[in-house]
Structure formats: C-alpha cells, structure tokens
C-alpha cells in the first residue's frame, strides 16, 4: 500500500521520452532511453562537446561538465560568446551536448566492417545562464567533484574576482538518448574464411600515481581520494 509520504512524491519515469531528434535513423536498435544508463555514461566521462549555431554556422566546443540530478552544468569564461548567448531568461541558447566513451577497437576481416565499441549520450535542449548565487555554488562544486569526487571540499572556493570571470549554464535532461555498441566484428558470411585476424582490442581508462607540484610542501600528503583513484 502506498503511504501518504510516498503519495506526495511525483513519479519519476525510468526512461526519457523518445522524440524525432533522439531516435536515430541508423542502428536504432543500439539506442536507449534508460535514465540509469544515461546517468552512468555521463558520470563516467570528463569532457563533453557543446554544439550550437553562431552567425549561421555550427560550432562545437569541448568543455567540462557536471551532473546534478536531471541537470547538466557547463562552465566557461564570461567572455565566451555561447555562454553570453545563453541568457538567463527565454529564449536561451539551443544546444546539443554529447559525451562518448570508446571501449574497444573492432577489427573485421573487411575494411568496411571495422568499427568501435562505444557508449555515448546526446542531449538536446535550451541552455540558460545560471545567475542565482546558491545554484552557481552548487554547479561549480559539481563541476569540480565530477573530475575528482570530494575535491570541492578539499580546495579553496572561488573568490569574487574568479566568480565574476566564470559563467555557468544549465541544460535540463529532458530530450536525451544513449547509444552503445558491444561485441565483435560483423563480417559478411563470405568473408569468414579469409586469412585476416578479426576481433576486439579492448581499451580501458587508468590512473598513474599522482605527481605533486614542485612548490608543494613536503608535509602535504596525497589525499585519500587520489590514492584510491
């Protein structure tokens, strides 16, 4: 039986709705709208690509991001044109944000069937500048912690001068899709007897030992969250 407390909490769908922009025209079977999968792909990445139109021409910029619930936060200089174009109020800036992980190189017997195994997310929407001080603090902490979990609490917060030079935009996760590829090469039956190696070369993300700055005092220890990275 549903409790009174549960009844007051809005139901959160487990999947994003499909739209004309999120349903791929090719390999639609690789697409997913599952929120848990989308979040996992976003949370594992470091860099996104922000696409928008400037003066009638497409522009794509790499930038850092952070996710808080169903919101992506991106940051840049206050002098950056796309961030200035994303006004606080309507109409905002129409954007497309992508995040991709390459998990393996797929080598086939034929050149045509070479591929990669990957996980990707594409987000469409209208980006808006974040001007509320509390939301800006939340967003900037999320950006720092997205790179290294726990780092925002272990560093000096931005001062007034730094905040004045930093712009933050938000993009709600409403029109979103994931796309993945797994498995080996899909060679044509007539090519299976060819004397060429076929298979997957897995790729993995790893971390080397942290390298301290030359000006770091000897008594400042490596934080535990870096030792366990």
Taking 70 as the pLDDT cut, the residues of the chain under it are: 1-12, 78-90, 228-229
**137 burial type by CB count under 10 A (0-12 exposed, 13-18 middle, 19+ buried):** middle
Token representation of residue 25 = 């025209």
Q: What is the pLDDT of residue 229?
A: 61
Find the CATH number of the domain harbouring 221: 2.30.110.10
Q: Which two tokens stand for residue 3?
A: 């409790």
- Structural domain contains residue 147: yes
Identify the pLDDT of residue 24. 85
Bridge partners (DSSP) listed for residue 51: 60, 96
Strand pairing class (166-172; 199-202): unpaired
What dihedral angle (degrees, nearest 10) is formed by the CA atoms of 166, 83, 50, 136?
50
Q: Answer whether residue 4 is part of any domain.
A: no
Output the pLDDT for position 2: 39
**Partners of residue 91 on adjacent β-strands:** none
Please give the structure tokens belonging to residue 76.
Answer: 């840049």
Number of domains the chain contains: 1
Report if residue 101 sits inside a domain. Answer: yes
* CA nearest neighbour of 19 among 96, 101, 99: 96
């Amino acid at each position: 039986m549903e409790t009174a407390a549960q009844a007051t909490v809005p139901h959160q769908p487990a999947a994003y709705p499909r739209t004309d922009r999120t349903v791929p025209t090719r390999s639609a079977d690789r697409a997913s709208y599952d929120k848990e999968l989308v979040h996992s792909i976003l949370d594992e990445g470091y860099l996104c690509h922000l696409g928008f139109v400037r003066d009638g021409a497409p522009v794509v910029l790499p930038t850092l991001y952070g996710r808080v619930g169903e919101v992506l936060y991106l940051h840049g200089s206050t002098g950056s044109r796309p961030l200035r174009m994303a006004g606080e109020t309507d109409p905002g800036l129409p954007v497309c944000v992508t995040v991709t992980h390459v998990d393996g190189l797929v080598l086939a017997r034929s050149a045509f069937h070479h591929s990669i195994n990957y996980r990707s997310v594409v987000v469409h929407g209208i980006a808006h500048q974040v001007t509320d001080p509390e939301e800006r603090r939340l967003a900037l902490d999320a950006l720092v912690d997205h790179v290294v979990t726990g780092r925002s609490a272990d560093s000096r917060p931005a001062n007034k001068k730094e905040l004045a030079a930093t712009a933050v935009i938000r993009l709600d996760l409403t029109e979103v899709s994931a796309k993945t590829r797994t498995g080996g090469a899909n060679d044509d039956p007539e090519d299976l007897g060819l004397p060429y190696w076929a298979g997957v070369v897995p790729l993995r993300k790893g971390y080397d030992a942290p390298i301290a700055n030359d000006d770091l005092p000897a008594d400042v220890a490596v934080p535990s969250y870096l030792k366990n990275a």
